[in-house]
Amino acid sequence: MTSACVLGCALRTAAGATVDEVVARVLAGERVDGRVARIRAPTPESKHARFLGRLPVLALAAAHEACASAAVTGGERLGVFVGVGGLRVEWDELAPALANQAPDGAAAWQRGLHRIHPFWMLRHLSNNAHALLAADVDARGDGASFGGATAGAQAIAAAARALAARTIDTAVVLAYDSLLGPETIADLQQRGALATDPLDDARVIPGEGAAAIVLARADTARAQVSALACADGSPAEPTAGTVARALAGVADGAATDIVYDGSPLARATGAIGAATAVVQTIVLEELLRRRCLPTAARAAVCASTGAPGLAAAVRVEVPR
């Protein structure tokens, strides 16, 4: 399994907008307040606001923070890898155009579609954040965008492979997602996966999150991360065997590897889809550095799942 070292990081979640905030709430066992987990951080002013919705703007802010902490320099040796949940629309923007539509679609334009700008869908394309971040940091090296519940893990793995192949020297990995759209919540409800009580650990409290890490080639003096995504074709959550395969794929079998239960993080942040693996990487690194996991552990692995039949795992190791 190809790994890379973490040079910098930043995140935005319902549990906090800094690593210290999120880790403190995870360690305290705090739970999402309510039935959804929305990022409380204010949306920063952005020159890209005309091209991006609120969540991608927050994600770009996290990416710039991570790049600043790692003193990233641009050029042909810097790549950008992005994971998003998929095409997400802003329903506050779309609802007025649909509220008065007829069941048969008659007079759809007059009934509200005229309220939508002809290019409105372009604002929601999944590669917008990729293109704008690359322009901001002058990243002209290899990169890619991924979609789906395990997109964050796929972005980490792809960045690590590009670094190992020496096509780039540094990679910015950004992931963001929201499970708060009505179509996503309806799907969770239909599958019986939606929690109706914040104390219910067996089901999902939908949330939103964004996180970024800066990676370079493996360096034993820094934290190492590797990631893997698997799929089994199940219509809903993956089988236990698929999750085990993802975990085994990133663990090296060393006695110091432990499996971290991701539920404390999910309780604090809510379910955050494509952002999960990158947030897990950041939190696992800090927990290991603080020795908040078993004291013998210098490496830990953590899994995440999503529909249809998707599983991902990350492994983080810190130097002794």
Check whether 25 has a pLDDT greater than 90.
yes
| Bigger pLDDT: 140 vs 35 | 140
Work out the mean pLDDT of the chain and round it to a whole number.
Answer: 90
**What count of other Cβ atoms lies within 10 Å of the Cβ of residue 122?**
10
> In the predicted model, what is the mean pLDDT of residues 113-136?
85
Share of the chain above pLDDT 90, in %: 63
Q: Quote the pLDDT of residue 188.
A: 82
Question: Which of 223, 212, 275, 217 lies closest to 67, judged by CA?
Answer: 212
Q: Please report whether residue 18 resides in a domain.
A: yes
Q: Please report whether residue 110 resides in a domain.
A: no
Q: What is the pLDDT of residues 241-297, one digit of tens each?
A: 999 999 999 987 666 688 998 889 999 999 999 999 999 999 999 999 999 988 778
Separation of alpha carbons 55 and 177, rounded Å: 8
Check whether 196 has a pLDDT greater than 80.
no
Separation of alpha carbons 297 and 244, rounded Å: 20
Could you give the number of structural domains in the chain?
A: 1
Q: Quote the pLDDT of residue 215.
A: 98
Q: Please report whether residue 109 resides in a domain.
A: no
Query: At 143, is the pLDDT very low, low, confident or very high (cuts 50, 70, 90)?
Result: very high
- Are 115 and 96 in contact by the 8 Å Cβ rule? The answer is yes
Q: Quote the pLDDT of residue 223.
A: 95
Separation of alpha carbons 275 and 169, rounded Å: 23
Let me know the angle formed at the C-alpha of 303 by 27 and 258, rounded to the nearest 5 degrees. Answer: 65
Q: Please report whether residue 281 resides in a domain.
A: yes
Give residue 283's domain range. 4-90+120-317
Q: What is the pLDDT of residues 300-309, one digit of tens each?
A: 999 999 989 9
Q: Please report whether residue 104 resides in a domain.
A: no
Q: Please report whether residue 99 resides in a domain.
A: no
Q: Please report whether residue 111 resides in a domain.
A: no
Query: At 138, is the pLDDT very low, low, confident or very high (cuts 50, 70, 90)?
Result: very high
Residue whose pair of structure tokens reads 């379910």 in the numeric block: 271
DSSP track, the chain: ---EEEEEEEEEETTBSSHHHHHHHHHTT---SSSSB---SPPPP-TTTTT--HHHHHHHHHHHHHHHHTT---BTTEEEEEEE-S----HHHHHHHHTT--TT-TTTTTTTGGGS-TTGGGGG-TTHHHHHHHHHHTB-S--EEEESTTHHHHHHHHHHHHHHTTS-SEEEEEEEEE--SHHHHHHHHHTT-B-SSTT-TTSB-BBEEEEEEEEEE--TTS-EEEEEEEE---SSSPPHHHHHHHHHHH----TTEEE--SHHHHHHH-B-GGGHHHHHHHHHHHHHHTT-S-TT-SEEEEEEEETTTEEEEEEEE---
Most confident of the ranges 77-81, 108-112, 127-131: 77-81
Q: What is the pLDDT of residues 70-106, one digit of tens each?
A: 999 999 999 999 999 877 777 777 888 888 999 999 9
Q: Quote the pLDDT of residue 181.
A: 85
Q: Please report whether residue 38 resides in a domain.
A: yes
| Bigger pLDDT: 315 vs 295 | 315
- Are 286 and 319 in contact by the 8 Å Cβ rule? The answer is no
**What count of other Cβ atoms lies within 10 Å of the Cβ of residue 79?**
24
Q: Quote the pLDDT of residue 146.
A: 96
Question: Which of 139, 171, 148, 141 lies closest to 3, judged by CA?
Answer: 171
Rg (CA), the chain: 19
**CA terminus-to-terminus distance, the chain:** 21
CATH of the domain at 25: 3.40.47.10
Q: Which segment of 144-153, 161-170, 175-184 scores lowest on mean pLDDT?
A: 175-184
Q: Quote the pLDDT of residue 255.
A: 61
Share of the chain above pLDDT 70, in %: 97
Q: Quote the pLDDT of residue 2.
A: 92
